[in-house]
Structure 1
Amino acid sequence: MRDAVVLERLPLPPGAATERTDRHQRRRIYIFFTRPGAVYCLMLMTMLVGAVNYNNSMAYILCFLLTGLFLINILHTYRNLRGLIIHLPECQPVHAGERVRIPLVLENRSPIQRIGIRMDYAPEGAPGLPPGNRPATLLPDLAGAGLQSAAIYLAPLPRGIYRPGQFRISSTFPLGLCRAWSYIDMDRECVVYPAPAGIPRLPEELGHKPREQPGRQAGSEDFTGHRPYHNRDPVRMVDWKKYAAGQGLLIKRFSGGGTGELWLRWPEGIAPASAERWLSQFAMWIIEADRQGLAYGLDLHGLRIEPDLGEPHKHRCLRALAAHDASV
């Protein structure tokens, strides 16, 4: 996976190759005149024809002056992108209904200021987002030899895992007569969890039976061993004898999950039309179990995540819900 994109048009100078690792994309910069630029060129041609016909030295001077201005504009437009480095941090997951934020970090190693740079969805790129979700944003100006954080915001997306695909970075600075652009492959995942909704109380508080409902709170049966202590484990389940013997904090395990573990099991016979509602309910239960410090596991159509605690476990379970095929 690439960590950054380097915008470069000319060959790299000697020694610079060691600075560009496999974790950097090196992208070409393209440049062409805009519609105002085309009108400007047509005007120059008309002025030149008039100067030739009338042999007017002042018309020649004005035509050559404006032509030089156009050529200088091309160089400045190209230089506004050349050598710019765009770092691509990971996207933070969100819930359905929230805006997805694609973070960027702009790095400018040259002393010149970068102005008027725009990022939008590349129409030529492979579609990685639903139709109608085509973000565009004007990036903040970047001082010489500086770093600047920026972001692209997507409209709220339904539950799922998305790869944004290809974006286009462009600039028409300084006069808007030419456009320089390049392409960036957003090799990042944007994870959209189900929106938590439903009953916040955990299933065991509702008296649900394991075979009838997706949530299950196991009882206390035979002792089966120990597992490491987690920050949110109930203190009453700590084996203090093992701790006194210098073996660290260990939690007693029982065959029925008497450590206070909760299993969230996908119910059988759920119609695809109601699957999204159940996924939202599971998201609600996962968030609530994490808030209460209760170890919980997920059994989702053959995908089994063992009971655990902590933020990584919560996000792993929510990601499984995001990737779940509701038609199964």
Structure 2
Amino acid sequence: MRFWLIFKILLHPLRWAQDRIDAWVMARVKRQPGPIAITRNRVYILPTRFGYFFALMLLVMLLGAMNYSNSMAFLLTFLLAGIALVCMHHTHANLVSVQLRAGNCEPVFAGETAHFELRIDNPSPTPRYSLAASWPKLEEHAVPGDVAARGSGLFMMSLPAGHRGWLESRVFSVSTEYPLGLFHAWTWAELDMRCLVFPKPAAHGGEPPAAGGHGGLASSDRSGQDEFAGLRSYRRGDTPRSIHWKSLPKLQHPMVKQFAETLEQDLWLDWSALATLDVEARLSQLTRWVLDAEAARRNYGLRLPGTLIPPGRGDAHRFACLKALALYDADAG
């Protein structure tokens, strides 16, 4: 335990230097739409903590071989050192020439986790093993994956979506420690990726106000079986079941019962109906009403200051309403 503590203290200056180098490099990474080709001059490599321990072990073996003048000890030491050098070249080459491009990012609600898709293309005939993509300082949470020769691999990077609106991606790293884990090779990149974050829906409960023709039920003129609309004279072809027999002795001619079909009026989700709430609370409640109206398969429209979405329903209409709520600017409205 004490040895490990001393080892961490010895590594502290190296980590400090690596952090300074990373900050210097990341400040110069430009945001690009992609694809981004990873060339040799963009790949950085340093020993891992196991690599440093391996180098220390080789130094001790070399001192022992020199002390005892043991040729077999020299042979083993130089053999292991040669393996480490070959490993370093393989680790570096495992990352060179791959191409990075942005994938899809499905919209999420505020408070959820946004998942950015990164596609890594391998145009070379050599497979790439144990590649991982992660945000800075979160490399330990990256899940490694392989990319087949002349193939493509999909890697997911997650960010918490704390607020509505556009969530922009940031600088990320693609790294590898293949094949022996003695060296860590990485590159920095920033693709033009963003995720749309909808407002967090309010809790269930509360119905949209149906005043001023904003919602409710209405009777249409079409024939139906929902609501009794009166009597009319008998016509050829009317069924006996539709005849109003009670009126026959009084009127001396048959009358037929007529019904009107009950139709739902379009539901309007209006910003002004929530005047007692603040901006974010209004957006949350409107988001809840959009989800509830869509689940109930009702036609609904959305009224925001400066924005009017006509009534409709379906996935495209739901997305349009939620996007308007996500990108609503109170200062502009």
TM-score (norm 2): 0.64
Is it true that 1:8 corresponds to 2:39 in the alignment?
A: yes
Residue number in structure 2 paired with 1:176: 181
Is it true that 1:115 corresponds to 2:121 in the alignment?
A: no
Tell me by how many angstroms 1:134 deviates.
9.1
Shift in alpha-carbon separation, 1:64–1:134, aligned structure 2, 3 A: closer
**Contact preservation (8 Å) 1:104, 1:149:** yes
Tell me by how many angstroms 1:97 deviates.
4.3
Shift in alpha-carbon separation, 1:156–1:267, aligned structure 2, 3 A: same
**Contact preservation (8 Å) 1:200, 1:288:** no
* Residue of 106, 119, 124 corresponding to 1:105: 119
d(CA) in 1 for partners of 2:203 and 2:161?
20
**Contact preservation (8 Å) 2:34, 2:191:** no
Shift in alpha-carbon separation, 1:134–1:32, aligned structure 2, 3 A: closer
* Residue of 301, 308, 313 corresponding to 1:296: 301
Tell me by how many angstroms 1:58 deviates.
1.9
Q: Choose 74-83 or 153-162, whichever is displaced more.
A: 153-162
Tell me by how many angstroms 1:167 deviates.
1.4
* Residue of 257, 278, 284 corresponding to 1:280: 284
Residues 1-328 of structure 1: matches in 2 within 5 Å? Answer: 2-10=33-41, 28-123=42-137, 136-155=141-160, 157-197=162-202, 203=208, 206-209=209-212, 216=214, 260=266, 262=268, 264-267=270-273, 269-272=275-278, 275-289=279-293, 292=297, 294=299, 296-300=301-305, 303-307=306-310, 309=312, 311-324=315-328
Tell me by how many angstroms 1:181 deviates.
0.6
Shift in alpha-carbon separation, 1:271–1:260, aligned structure 2, 3 A: closer
d(CA) in 2 for partners of 1:111 and 1:290?
49
Tell me by how many angstroms 1:170 deviates.
1.3
**Which amino acid is 1:166 matched to?**
V
Higher helix share: 2
Identity of aligned residues (%): 31
Question: SS at the partner of 2:147?
Answer: coil
Question: SS at the partner of 1:92?
Answer: coil
d(CA) in 1 for partners of 2:140 and 2:171?
12
Question: SS at the partner of 1:119?
Answer: strand
Tell me by how many angstroms 1:69 deviates.
0.5
Aligned length: 256
- Which digits, 9 at most, give the CA deviation of each residue in 1:190-221, with x for residues without a partner? 22212334567863xx43359xxxxx459xxx
Larger Rg: 2
**Contact preservation (8 Å) 1:167, 1:184:** yes
**Which amino acid is 2:211 matched to?**
H
- Which digits, 9 at most, give the CA deviation of each residue in 1:38-85, with x for residues without a partner? 122222233333334443322221221111101101011112211222
d(CA) in 1 for partners of 2:100 and 2:127?
15
TM-score (norm 1): 0.65
d(CA) in 2 for partners of 1:305 and 1:74?
60
**Contact preservation (8 Å) 1:197, 1:284:** yes
Structure 1 portions without partners, runs of 5+: 11-27, 124-132, 211-215, 219-233, 237-258
Q: Choose 66-75 or 133-142, whichever is displaced more.
A: 133-142
Supply the RMSD in Å over aligned alpha carbons: 3.6
**Contact preservation (8 Å) 1:85, 1:106:** yes
**Which amino acid is 1:9 matched to?**
R
d(CA) in 2 for partners of 1:35 and 1:201?
57
Tell me by how many angstroms 1:271 deviates.
4.5
d(CA) in 1 for partners of 2:161 and 2:104?
18
Question: SS at the partner of 2:146?
Answer: coil
**Which amino acid is 1:146 matched to?**
G
**Contact preservation (8 Å) 1:136, 1:152:** no
**Contact preservation (8 Å) 1:199, 1:284:** yes
Q: Choose 110-119 or 61-70, whichever is displaced more.
A: 110-119
